Amino acid sequence: MWGAGMANKLARLIELIQKMPEDCVENALNYVTGIVEEVEKEKAKKEPEPPCPHCDSKSVRNGQSKWGQRFLCSACGKTFGRRAGSAMKSSHYGEAVWKQVIRDTIDGVSLDATASALKVSHSTAFNMRHKILLAIDTAEQAEPTRLSGVCELDDTYVLESFKGRKLPSDFWRKPRKHGAVAQKRGLSDEYVAICTAIGRDGSAVAKTVNRATPSKDEVLAVYADKIAGDALLLCDGAKSFAALGEVTGCPVVDVFEDGRQPGFYHINTANNFHSFIKERYNQYRGVATKYLNRYNGLFARLYRGGENQVDEIYKMLCRGLNSKHRTVKDVKNLDLLWV
């Protein structure tokens, strides 16, 4: 894993190779290729045989290809590589490059900066970043976050964004610059709601379903399957949360109701989560609304914290959770948010 102090080493290596005399480039290439092959062989020996991505049965090793070790399913007889069915399938880039893109995504580095440092095109950096975001979203769908104990529920709002898209001349408003404000006063349909819930144990959920204030049905769509039966739900008194209590069987408490103990009945943790989201949102210089839920999943994961996030996300990419995420078409069109 690359540490923060090694973030520019790959770019430096590429720069040095570009300055080499022509007769030295081939020698350098052969040397580096030899190192990579030896590392891959040693790594392959230590890793267990993966289950078959087609039927989930046991497999045995079945020779090598240009992509690395091949495997044969003991049940269905199909062959596959270690990256089969994963977001990493057929990737031309190795672990170091992918981990740097993951780190840049976590740190809020712009796509242009990532592309420039790694000597890849903007579109390649975009596709790699969104494969990472989709892997996080897929992992959340496979094993949804469950909130238990004391949970704080509240909404935050961001301006709609068409970042990366040229608006038509007859659009109802002019394009905004970074840092612009809404044209209408107060909470309007210019804003997109991010529904958030956070347990005091650190578990967090963030999802967008519509503009402005979420309705009862939208609140249920976001939270109903995320709440465990033993949760205590603290909210700001919005009527839509009462229906959530009826569906889940959990008590719902209005933290602003007179007579409550302010030391315990508060939604300060949720407000802190909102500040974290806004800070990251600004760090990215805005996020196109259609991609907002992909970033919401990232923000929830980062807020929960934990060490080795880069390694954990890289493992998600390598696991065969959902093979449909491996194409550029899916990266640009899968599970977009239209509100």
What whole-number percentage of the chain has pLDDT above 90? 19
Amino acid in the structure at residue 199:
G
What average pLDDT does the chain have?
Answer: 81
pLDDT of residue 104: 92
**Residue pLDDT, tens place only, 185-201:** 777 778 889 999 999 88
Instruction: State the pLDDT at residue 3.
Output: 45
Q: What is the pLDDT of residue 101?
A: 93
What pLDDT, on a 0 to 100 scale, did the predictor assign at position 4? 44
The pLDDT of residue 320: 57
Query: CB of 225 within 8 A of CB of 197?
Result: no
pLDDT of residue 153: 92
- Beta pairing, strands 68-73 & 79-81: antiparallel
- pLDDT per position as a tens digit, 130-154: 989 988 888 888 888 888 899 999 9
Q: What is the pLDDT of residues 12-64, one digit of tens each?
A: 887 888 888 877 888 888 888 888 777 767 766 667 777 777 777 888 887 87
**Complete domains list, the chain, with CATH:** 145-304 (3.30.420.10)
Distance of CA 233 to the CA centre of its chain: 26
pLDDT at 260: 63
Q: In Å, how far are 298, 300, 301, 312, 324 from 140, measured between CA atoms?
A: 10, 10, 9, 13, 16
Between CA 280 and CA 70 the distance in angstroms is 41
Alpha carbon distance 187, 233 (integer Å): 25
- The pTM for the full model equals 0.75
Does residue 5 carry a pLDDT above 60?
A: no
Most confident stretch, 76-80, 122-126, 224-228: 122-126
Convert the pLDDT of each residue in 234-286 to its tens digit. 988 777 888 888 888 898 888 877 656 667 888 899 999 999 999 988 888 88
Going by pLDDT thresholds of 50, 70 and 90, the confidence category of residue 2 is very low
Backbone φ/ψ region at 337: left (φ over 0), alpha (ψ -120 to 50), beta: beta
